[in-house]
Amino acid sequence: MHLEVVADDAALGRVGADRILQARADGALHVLGVATGGTPASTYRELARRSDGRLKDVRLAALDEYVGLPAEHPGSYTSFVRRNIAEPLGIAPEHVAVPRAAAHDLEAAAALFEQQLRDAGGVDLQILGIGANGHIGFNEPGSQADSRTRAVTLAERTRQDNARFFDSPDDVPREALTQGIGTILEARRILLLASGPRKADALARAMEQPPSADCPASWLQRHPDVLVVADQAAAAALSRRSLSHQGA
C-alpha cells in the first residue's frame, strides 16, 4: 500500500482526480468502481470540473446499495451515483451498474451484479473510502477476504455515521447489498481515500496491523496496487514508518 498525504480535503480531491484522469489518458481505465459518501465527493467535483468529456465512455460500477430504498430515493446510492458522478461526467445510464438491492431475491441480485462486473471486463480502478470501524464498501468487521457480493446487516456505528444523509437516524436502512472483499480485491488498481480525524484510527489499523477481519480495510494489504491518499487529519495516527514510505 503506497501512501500520499495531502493538506486537506480540497487537495485530496485534486490528487484523486489526477490519478483517475491519468489512468484514462494511459488507456488503462474503461471501468471505474465508485464509492459513495462524503469522502470521495471532492474527487467527483474535481473530475466534473476537469474531465471535459474524457470520461463519458467509461463504465461505472458502484460498491453497494441500501436494501429497502427505492432507486429514486435521494438517499439511495443509485441516486448518488447518477447525481454526483454519471450526469456531471456525461456517462449514459446504461453504462452505470449498481447492485439491485430492491430485488425480491437478494442472492440472485448479488450473482447478477458479479456477472455484470465480469461481462464488463472487471474493474480497472476502484475508488474506496474507509469507515470509522474499518469497513470498505459495506463490509463490516468480521468480513472475510474471500467474501463476494452479498446482503449484509449494517453495524450500528455505520448507521449513525450515515444518518447525516437522512432526515432522521431512524430512516437509515439496516441492510445493504455490497461488493465483497474478494470482489473488491479483483480490481486491477485501488485508490483508497481518507479524510478527517474520525478516520485516523481506522486508517492506521488498515495499513499497520496484520490483515484480518477485525479491520476489513486491512485486507487491502494483499492487493499489489493500492494507493492511499489521506489528508493530514486522517493520517494523524500513522506511524513514522508508514509516513516514511510516502510515494514508495
Residue 240: exposed, middle, or buried by beta-carbon count in 10 A (0-12, 13-18, 19+)?
exposed
Average pLDDT over residues 110-136: 97
For residues 80 and 86, give the distance between their C-alpha atoms in angstroms, rounded to a whole number.
9
**Number of separate helices (H) and strands (E) present in the chain:** 9, 10
Give which of 59, 45, 57 is closest to 14, Cα–Cα. Answer: 45
The whole-number pLDDT of residue 164 equals 84
Give per-residue pLDDT as tens, 179-224. Answer: 999 999 999 999 999 999 999 999 999 999 999 999 999 999 999 9
Q: For residue 142, is pLDDT > 80?
A: yes
DSSP code of 150? E
The whole-number pLDDT of residue 245 equals 65
Count Cβ atoms below 10 Å from residue 104 Cβ, excluding itself: 6
Residue 123 is placed in which grid cell? Answer: 474493474
Give per-residue pLDDT as tens, 57-96. Answer: 999 999 999 998 888 888 899 999 999 999 999 999 999 9
Of the residues 46, 65, 133, 161, which is catalytic?
A: 133
User: What residue spans define the domains of the chain?
Assistant: 2-187+194-238
* 171 carries an active-site annotation: no
Q: From the centroid of its chain, how far is CA 133?
A: 15
* 64 carries an active-site annotation: yes
* 114 carries an active-site annotation: no
Query: Under CATH, what is the fold of the domain 2-187+194-238?
Result: Rossmann fold (3.40.50)
For residues 173 and 157, give the distance between their C-alpha atoms in angstroms, rounded to a whole number.
13
Q: For residue 244, is pLDDT > 80?
A: no
Average pLDDT over residues 24-52: 96
The whole-number pLDDT of residue 247 equals 59
* Mean pLDDT of the chain, nearest integer: 95
* 4 carries an active-site annotation: no
